Amino acid sequence: MSIAVPLHELSIAEASAALRAGEISSRMLTENALQRIFGLDPAISAFVLVTADRALADAEKADAAFAAGIDRGPMQGIPYAMKDIYDTAGIRTTGHSNLLRDNVPATDSAVQEKLAAGGGVLLGKVGTFEFAIGGPSFDLPFPPARNPWNTDHFTGGSSSGSAAAVAAGMVRMAMGSDTGGSIRGPAAYCGTVGLKPTYGRVSRRGVFPLAYSLDHCGPLAWSVEDAALTMQVIGGYDPLDPASAKLPVPDFTEKLNRDLSGLRIGYTRKFYIENPFLTAEATAALDAAAQQMAALGAVVDEVDMPPFEQFDACCRVIMFSEAYAIHETDLKVRPHAYGRYGYQRLISGAVLSAADYVQAQRLRRELTAFVNDNLLSRHDALLAPNALSTAAPFSDFGPDASRWGGMLTGPFNVTGNPALALPIGFGANGLPLSAQIVGRPFDEPTVLQIGSAYEAAVGVTKIRPSMPQAAKAA
């Protein structure tokens, strides 16, 4: 393999092949990544902590393992970053909050354990909304991440730093979490791939919770293949996570590079077509994506969903009830330690009753049964909207917590199905547009197959944002 492109342009698969062929070293990849971070991040604010010494030490270990003929898998020697709610032993984990500003965990989260055991190179911690809910805020210990496509615009949340770091080419993969869309929303607004695996597929042990029954852990990456390779390392049963599914880990790459012949995809067009936040360019991009999937061999037909408002209310009642239960003591004892947005969102759970929560969980079962027993019994996957417009500017956010519209991600936290955020084009303002592919429970390989086939045909993920600082950092 000839290294004919800048190192940061190599995918995980390409970098792994070059590492194993001896054409590059992990130290080279790591030094290149650190150079890009130091050159680009002052304008992006994706990282809240760069662990340069740790990264170089990890790289040396990976190179030594390669030299000794030891192969620990696809992430060996590959630099990555962790959302700052994942515990990292001996490395500060703050939740982007003053409440945990000096928190240094003694142990790693389960995902960090797996990435380290797989020979990955930890570059540092990337920003989030406060406790994965309060943002984009300017009254926290670190500034909010900015969108690399236009730094006047926000990234979506809460895996804001993860999306910004990947989009800017500082890392190939950064871990995120998703409770109501916190992987897929930032992936949509920053033009990256983002995978919310099936609930229970990836352990959440050692990840600060937002809502126990909705939280998912998954990767944001530059390509579908990179997401699949990451899943091969981080997926699997964890007896110390009560929600972890005791199922074998599939080959997440098995169905990549296939066409879509024989697949049936349900297009949920009616689910969003009357949404007031929908833009004409998002409609056109989603329709074009459906047509492209049909051209790749799939049977694509429109399907009906229950009203979005039912999913949305269900998700929010469960999320805010569970989040308030987690934060109740701190909200009462030291409310001023929270940022304004974080406090306002979390305190809303105080007005919800046990009856509200029970009714939401009852509705959740009905909605989940409809998606799985009705739609996905007749279709291999669903094509659904992700964001209905491009990312808003920071100027749209006032002093009080607002709910930005046009995100249709929460329904699949309610159901727990795997969902892949997939770039599908750009708005007239040059900012990304996105869709999501939703699959049957624990059928991530088919979701990734569809995403990979579309990605190869359209090539949107080969386009990176143009940043003035990039020339100095390359």
Question: Could you give the domains of the chain?
Answer: 25-473 (3.90.1300.10)
> Residues 175, 83: contact at Cβ < 8 Å?
yes
Q: Is the pTM above the cut of 0.75?
A: yes
Q: What Cα–Cα distance (Å) separates residue 80 from each residue in 3, 51, 195, 207, 253?
A: 20, 11, 16, 17, 19
> Residues 205, 109: contact at Cβ < 8 Å?
yes
> Which 8-state DSSP code applies to residue 247?
-
How high is the pLDDT of residue 4?
Answer: 73
> Which 8-state DSSP code applies to residue 180?
S
Which residues fall within 8 angstroms of residue 247, CB to CB, at 6 or more apart? Answer: 201, 237, 442
Q: Which class for 35: exposed (0-12), middle (13-18), buried (19 or more C-beta within 10 A)? A: middle
How high is the pLDDT of residue 143?
Answer: 97
Q: What angle do CA 95, 195, 454 make, to 5 degrees?
A: 150
Catalytic residues: 83, 158, 182
CA 161 to CA 164: how far, in whole Å? 5
Torsion of Cα atoms, 111 then 117 then 118 then 122, to 10°: 70
Task: Give start and end residues of each alpha helix (H) in 45-104.
Answer: 52-67
- Positive or negative, the Cα torsion across 247, 248, 253, 255? negative
> Residues 165, 33: contact at Cβ < 8 Å?
no
CA 28 to CA 49: how far, in whole Å? 21
CA 249 to CA 236: how far, in whole Å? 6
Mean pLDDT of successive 10-residue stretches along the chain, which has 474 residues: 81 97 97 97 98 98 98 98 98 98 98 98 98 96 98 97 98 98 98 98 98 98 98 98 98 97 98 96 98 98 97 98 98 97 97 98 98 98 97 93 85 98 97 98 98 96 78 43
How high is the pLDDT of residue 188?
Answer: 98
Proportion of the chain in helix, strand, coil states, percent, rounded to 5: 40, 15, 45
How high is the pLDDT of residue 468?
Answer: 62
CA 235 to CA 109: how far, in whole Å? 13
How high is the pLDDT of residue 472?
Answer: 45
CA 128 to CA 114: how far, in whole Å? 22
The enclosing H or E element of 177 equals: strand 173-178
How high is the pLDDT of residue 462?
Answer: 87
